[in-house]
Structure 1
């Protein structure tokens, strides 16, 4: 009986390690918030939390930097509203924010959609909310 419990415990530990090693890592990311006339620090931090949560699904990747730059965000919002999902979803400009990030991809290439052992730079995270009182959600990401 003791051998069975010990063997089961070893299997659980190994599976936990395997699963944990596959999720996107965000805990040591350097976060920077530039000055904003549009959003409060609380609003930006909530958006950062939404990106970190989404990033956990990026297998084999490690978030190294995440930042908000209002001038870059404004420029990217215009593209999103004119050419991206914002052109069809009816979202208002004041309910869109773009964060930028850098992240590393491990030797496995993550889920296969990234080049192994690469760094993704200036990766865009487009966040939307239905109104000022709603929570941010990641609507799109990429370049």
Structure 2
């Protein structure tokens, strides 16, 4: 019985050490934040963190997140006219658009995206209730 307890303890120790050595892929993401007259750096960074936390495309790795105010303003205009913004009536100051690049691995485990492909300039629309609330992803795609 004592021998079993020792073996189980060793196995648990090994698994915990392996878990501690996992590389956090979100630290390898290139972040490119341009100048903004609309949002503070903190507001943009919170939107970026929201995207990093919620990116969950199967067999895919997020490699870059960008904020460009000109691109964001165009995407917001389209979102408010033709997207979910036309229905939810969110105010423009509570909408931000980010652009990302991501890679799909060769496994074929993603049922929608092409294996081995890199996707660039993928749009993400994030919204919030007001300046004091957190961002959430509302739309994504090209």
Short-chain TM bin: 0.7 to 0.9
Q: Runs of 4 or more off by more than 3 Å in structure 1?
A: 6-10
Q: CA deviation at 1:90?
A: 1.1
Contact 1:25 1:61 in 2 (8 A): no
Change (3 A) 1:63 1:38: same
Work out the number of aligned pairs and report it.
135
Equivalent in the alignment of 1:120 = 119
Q: CA deviation at 1:140?
A: 1.3
Give yes or no for the alignment of 1:77 onto 2:80. Answer: no
Equivalent in the alignment of 1:35 = 35
Q: CA deviation at 1:58?
A: 1.9
Q: Deviations over 1:57-80 (max 9, x none)?
A: 222211111110000000011111
* Equivalent-residue separation in structure 2 for 1:110 and 1:97 (angstroms): 31
SS of the counterpart of 2:37?
coil
Q: TM-score, normalised by structure 1?
A: 0.83
* RMSD across aligned positions (CA): 2.4
* Equivalent-residue separation in structure 2 for 1:6 and 1:45 (angstroms): 41
Give yes or no for the alignment of 1:66 onto 2:65. Answer: yes
Q: CA deviation at 1:84?
A: 0.8
Question: Any unmatched runs of 5+ in structure 2?
Answer: none
Q: TM-score, normalised by structure 2?
A: 0.83
SS of the counterpart of 2:27?
coil
Question: Any unmatched runs of 5+ in structure 1?
Answer: none
* Equivalent-residue separation in structure 2 for 1:105 and 1:7 (angstroms): 36
Q: Deviations over 1:7-45 (max 9, x none)?
A: 9659x94xx88xx89xx9422011011000000000000
SS of the counterpart of 1:124?
strand
